[in-house]
Structure 1
C-alpha cells in the first residue's frame, strides 16, 4: 500500500472496534447458550456472574476510552484461565474450544484497539 491508500488510525480503530464488538457479543452469546443448555436448567445467577464483569466495561468501549480496552485485556485473562481449565477437563466438549478461541480473539482485539485508540487520540 502506498501512503495515500493506507488506512488512517481512525479507520483502523473503527475496524478493530467492530471486530472486537462482534467477538464480545459472541462470548456473551456463548454464556447464554451454556446457561440455556445446562442439564440443571437456566440459572440467572450464574449468567450474571459470567456476564457482569464484561458488561461493566461496555460504556467505556462505546465511548472509545483506550484504557478500558487495557482493563478488558486483564479481565479476559481470567476467562482464558477458566477456558483452558474447562478444555482439559474430562467433561470437555466443543464449546470449551470455542471459549478458548473467543478469549484469545478478544484479548488480541482489545490490545490492538487500545493501541490504535491511543494513537488516534494523539494524532487528532
Structure 2
C-alpha cells in the first residue's frame, strides 16, 4: 500500500502566513540582537572582561546568518532554528540567577518566539516554492 502524498496548501493560504512569519522572525531576530547588545553594554557584570569581546562572541552566530535572514532565505531561517537554541539555553541558565532573571526570561521568550516563527517561515516557504514548481 503506497501512501498518497498530502496535498500542498493553496497559494492564497500560504502567502499571508509566509509574510507574517517572516515579519515576526525579523522582529524577534532584531529584538534578540538588541537584547544582547543592551544587556552586555549596560547591565552585565563582565568581571573585567572587555565588552566588545563578549559581544563579538555572542553576536557572531547571529551576524553570520543576518544576510540570509534579511533577504528571506528559507535555508538561513532553518539554520537560525539551530543557532537560536544556544540563546535559549543561555536564557534558561541566566533565569536561575536572581541578578539576571529578567534578562534570562526575555532571552528565553524571544528565542522561543524566534524559533517558532523561523520554523514556520521555513516550512511555508518551501511549500510555496514546491507549489510554484507545479507539485
Please indicate the TM-score interval, normalised by the length of the shorter structure.
Answer: 0.7 to 0.9
Runs of 4+ in 1 over 6 A off after TM superposition: none
Shift of 1:116: 0.8
Instruction: Give the match for residue 118 of structure 2.
Output: 110
From the CA coordinates, give the structure whose radius of gyration is larger: 2
Instruction: Give the match for residue 84 of structure 1.
Output: 92
TM-score for the superposition, normalised by structure 2: 0.78
- The runs of 5 or more residues in structure 2 that have no matched partner are 1-10
Instruction: Give the match for residue 47 of structure 1.
Output: 55
Instruction: Give the match for residue 19 of structure 1.
Output: 24
Say if 2:94 and 2:103, in contact at 8 Å, map to a contact too.
no
May I ask how many residue pairs the two structures share in their alignment?
119
Instruction: Give the match for residue 33 of structure 2.
Output: 28
Taking the aligned partners of 2:45 and 2:63, their CA distance within structure 1 comes to: 26
**More divergent stretch after superposition (83-92 vs 11-20):** 83-92
Instruction: Give the match for residue 57 of structure 1.
Output: 65
CA RMSD, Structure 1 to Structure 2 (Å): 2.0
